[in-house]
Chain A
Amino acid sequence: MISMVIKRIGNAAAVMLAVAFVAFMIFQFLGDPVQLMLNEQATQAERDALRERLGLGQSFVMQFVTFVTRAMQGDFGISYRNQQEVMSLIAERFPATLELVLVSTVIALCVGIPLGVYAAIRKGSPIARLLTMFSMIGVSIPSFVIGILLILVFAVQLNWLPAFGRGDVVKFGWWSTGLLTPSGRRALIMPAASLAMFQISFIMRLVTAEMLEALRTDYVKFARARGLPNRLVHFRHALRNCLMPVVTMTGMMIGDLIAFALVTETVFQWPGMGQLFVQAVMFIDIPVMAAYLMIVSAIFVTINTIVDLTYLWVDPRLRQAGVARGYHAH
């Protein structure tokens, strides 16, 4: 068990090192930071001084080591575009993204699980077939299209909800939340709904598939034979056994969603770190790009590792066989 845990954590560290290497290579290949940071009149002495300060005179390996050490301390340098510290730029925008992702996940769970259970229990009924059809449409229509449609209807035509921005926020130290003000909550509705759409379909399909499998098992048949009412059979016996994969898959999806939220953030001009990244890509603001890549990957890898470890802890069979759990969101 302990060796498996160490192995998983080692894997995660190796992946992060590889991500750091990719980020470092982007620095190496794209543009000369000295040229980007100084103006044209800079003297050769100034250039050399900056080169020295940035550590560009060191060997390739040493530069990489410096890069990784700094990154681990949260130091990703200065943004080329607005000359601010990258870490504070991201920290300022991180709460907005996390709030959006978490609220949309809660919506998706609250809607997706009941619908999935219904589609499984009433398999073949007209409503269940309609739900399956809807889930197919939900995974097919791009989330930016859904976002634009929502804006067209609820902001432009009906004028009920704001089309962009985050509304008023309340600050707690460096953390900010829009959940405590009316305008913040109103601004959150459409972005969260459009981000939830894909998840609802995904969770619904997963719950339906798991439920159909559970309904065929012997313990469910036994529960029915005991004459338990359908409600108890479905919710206490069948659904409970489906929740574990649903919860872990949702957990894994959060990592993906933090990256994917950048599309929704672009549509609704939501001031999250995804929007920051998209703007950085436009301006080739490499420190911001690299920092975003590393932070999102770190979140993603951490969540996946925790999920893997939870499985090891819950399911003793995996410990002996030493096989990797084949659950991936892709």
Chain B
Amino acid sequence: MHIDEAGRAGRLAEWRRRLSDAWDSDLAYSFRATPMAVASALVLLIVALTAFLAPLIAVQNPYDLTQLFLDQAELPPIWNEGGASPYLLGTDVQGRDVLSAILYGSRISLLIGFASVIASMAIGIAVGLICGFAGGHVDNLLMRVGDFVLSIPTLLVAILVSAVFRELLPVNLRDAFAPVILTASIAITSWVQYARIVRASAMVEARKEYVLAARILEVRTPRILLTHILPNVMTPVLVTATLSLGLAILAEATLSFLGVGMPVTQPSLGTLIRIGNQYFFSGSWWVVLFPAFQLGLIILAVNLLGDWLRDALNPKLQ
């Protein structure tokens, strides 16, 4: 009992020390000293929290058709004449509450954004490590594939991949797999830059003494790659990942807006803008404007945060 308590106190002290270390680090200091970074992080935190708590906050589940009432369609926002509670930002032609749709839509947009960044990072790291360590023909082949991907406009590749995958799936599975297809089509177009960064650093690291030491100790190659080389090439990879998160969210929104992304039954922000775009000539501007504002806000906050991180971690600027 006594020992247990001492152990717990020790762990607490350890955690406190780690926290204060983190608070005092250069990165945290730079973060506190940059109001723009703090503001963007705050915006993202609020957006992410409201998006993932959407089932608890939203007044209606926009995927559940029994909760949509056609007699309450096309209501303007609550501060306009004709607006009605609880539809704070109004409703669309099918009686879908715009605010609820935005919250659920942000969740999909953020999820696909994160998933596609992680997927492209995973592919890029794997390819980069293999190329940097193996060299020779494997390296040549994989890098040529990367050159090829970059030599066609990315939006075009994403649209084609997404369209082809959709077409190959049976009709009843298409909507369910839409997020997976989107993630894959964005990842396929954006892994190359990670691969190039990792490959270049891995080639340098592979010649260093600690790797030689590990080889002499007969550590297996996959283990050398993952536990010895990978941690030393991660910083630029993470900066690139933050910077490309905004692009990934943008890509998802663009594909959905064009109609090759998320279906109308599970709208992301891009799909909502697509739906709203068809109706604003009849005067219901709120259906398109609010999702558009949310999308712009998310991408701007992510980009500002990424810009700050790149500058903060850039040794040349310190």
Q: Footprint of B on A, CB under 8 Å?
A: 15, 18-19, 22, 26, 29-31, 136-137, 139-142, 144-145, 148-149, 151-152, 156, 163, 255-256, 258-260, 262-263, 266-267, 277-278, 281-282, 284, 289, 293, 296-297, 300-301, 304, 328, 330
Known: A26-B160, A152-B280. A144 touches B151 (CB 8 A): no
**Interface residue B91 (Cβ < 8 Å from any Cβ of A):** no
Counting chain B CB atoms within 10 Å of each CB, the highest count among A141, A260, A263 belongs to A141
Given A152-B285, A293-B156, A300-B153, A142-B253 contact (CB < 8 Å): yes
Contact of A15 among B148, B253, B276, B303 (CB under 8 A): B148
- B265-287 near A? 1/0 per residue, CB < 8 Å: 00000000100110011010100
Contacts of B180 in A (CB 8 A): none
Tell me the complex Cα distance, A168–B148, Å: 40
> Contact partner of B303 among A18, A22, A26, A140, CB < 8 A?
A140
Taking a contact as CB atoms under 8 Å apart, the answer to whether B150 and A142 are in contact is no
Query: Nearest Cβ in chain B — how far from A153, in angstroms?
Result: 10
**Across the interface, do B296 and A304 meet the contact criterion of CB distance under 8 Å?**
no
Which residues of A have CB within 8 Å of B296?
137, 140-142, 145
Which residue of A18, A256, A263 contacts B257 across the interface (Cβ within 8 Å)?
A263
- Interface of chain B residues 237 through 277 with chain A (CB within 8 A): 246, 250, 253-254, 257-260, 273, 276-277
Q: How far is the CA of A29 from the CA of B169 in the complex (A)?
A: 12
Chosen A-B contacts, 14 in total, with CB atoms closer than 8 Å, are A22-B160, A29-B164, A29-B168, A140-B296, A142-B295, A144-B254, A145-B273, A156-B285, A259-B156, A260-B153, A262-B258, A263-B155, A289-B160, A304-B151
B254 A142 Cβ-Cβ under 8 A = yes
Asked whether any CB of chain A lies closer than 8 Å to the CB of B211, the reply is no
Is A281 in contact with B260, judged by CB distance below 8 angstroms?
Answer: yes
List of 5 A-B pairs having minimum Cβ-Cβ separation, nearest first:
A259-B153, A140-B300, A145-B292, A141-B296, A140-B299
Q: How many A-B residue pairs have CB under 8 A?
A: 112
Given the interface pairs A30-B167, A136-B300, A137-B300, the reply to whether A145 lies near B295 with Cβ below 8 Å is yes
Q: Determine if A141 and B300 form an interchain contact, defined as CB atoms under 8 angstroms apart.
A: yes
Q: Within the complex, what minimum Cβ distance (angstroms) separates B53 from chain A?
A: 25
Cβ of B280 and Cβ of A144 under 8 Å apart?
no
Contact yes or no, B254 A163, CB < 8 A: no
**CB–CB A15/B300 < 8 A:** no
B195 to chain A, nearest CB (A): 13
Contact A293/B299 with A148-B277, A300-B152 known, Cβ cut-off 8 Å: no
> How far is it, in angstroms, between the C-alpha of A282 and the C-alpha of B259 when the chains are bound?
8
CB-CB < 8 A to A284: which residues of B?
163, 167
Contact of B258 among A136, A259, A266, A296 (CB under 8 A): A266
Closest A residue to B288 using CB positions: A148
User: CA separation between A259 and B154, bound complex, in Å?
Assistant: 9
Q: How far is the CA of A30 from the CA of B169 in the complex (A)?
A: 11
A194 CB, min distance to chain B CBs, angstroms: 13
B159 within 8 A of A: yes
Residue numbers in A under 8 Å from B167 (CB-CB): 30-31, 284
The answer to whether A330 and B154 touch across the interface, beta carbons within 8 angstroms, is yes
Q: What distance in Å separates the Cβ of B171 from its nearest Cβ neighbour in chain A?
A: 12
**Contact status B295-A262, CB under 8 Å:** no
Output the nearest chain B residue to A149 by Cβ-Cβ distance. B292
- Complex CA gap A97/B46 in Å reads 40
**Chain A CB within 8 A of B48 CB:** no
State A278–B259 Cα separation when bound (angstroms): 9
- Is there contact, CB below 8 Å, between B253 and A140? no
In the assembled complex, B110 has its CB within 8 A of some CB on chain A = no
Q: Which residues of A contact B151 (CB under 8 A)?
A: 15, 297, 300-301, 304
- B283 shortest CB reach to chain A, Å: 8
Residues in B with CB closer than 8 Å to A140 are 246, 296, 299-300, 303
B98 within 8 A of A: no
A156, B299: Cβ atoms under 8 Å?
no
How many Å lie between the Cα of A256 and that of B167 in the bound state?
26
B246 touches A144 (CB 8 A): no
Closest to B249 in A: A142
Q: Is B89 on the interface with A (CB-CB < 8 A)?
A: no
Proximity string of chain B (139-170) to chain A, C-beta cutoff 8 Å, 1 when within and 0 when not: 00000000110111111100110011001100
Q: How far is the CB of A129 from chain B (nearest CB, A)?
A: 11
Residues of B within 8 A of A282 (CB): 259
Contacts of A304 in B (CB 8 A): 151
Given contacts A142-B299, A263-B258, A330-B193, contact A30 B164 (CB under 8 A): yes
Residues of A within 8 A of B26 (CB): none
Contact B155 A259 (CB under 8 A): yes
Residues of chain B with a CB closer than 8 A to A278's CB: 159, 258-259
Q: Contacts A140-B300, A141-B300 hold; do A297 and B152 have CB atoms under 8 A apart?
A: yes
Residue B304 at the A interface, CB < 8 A?
yes
Q: How far is the CA of A258 from the CA of B289 in the complex (A)?
A: 27
Whether a CB of chain A sits under 8 angstroms from the CB of B307 is yes
Q: Is the CB of A289 within 8 A of B273?
A: no
Closest to A145 in B: B292
Among B151, B258, B299, find the residue whose CB has the most chain A CB atoms closer than 10 A. B151
What CA separation (Å) do A22 and B259 show in the bound complex? 22
Q: Is the CB of B150 within 8 A of A152?
A: no
Residue of A nearest to B154 (CB): A330
Known contacts A142-B296, A148-B288, A284-B163; is-contact A163 B152 (Cβ 8 Å): no
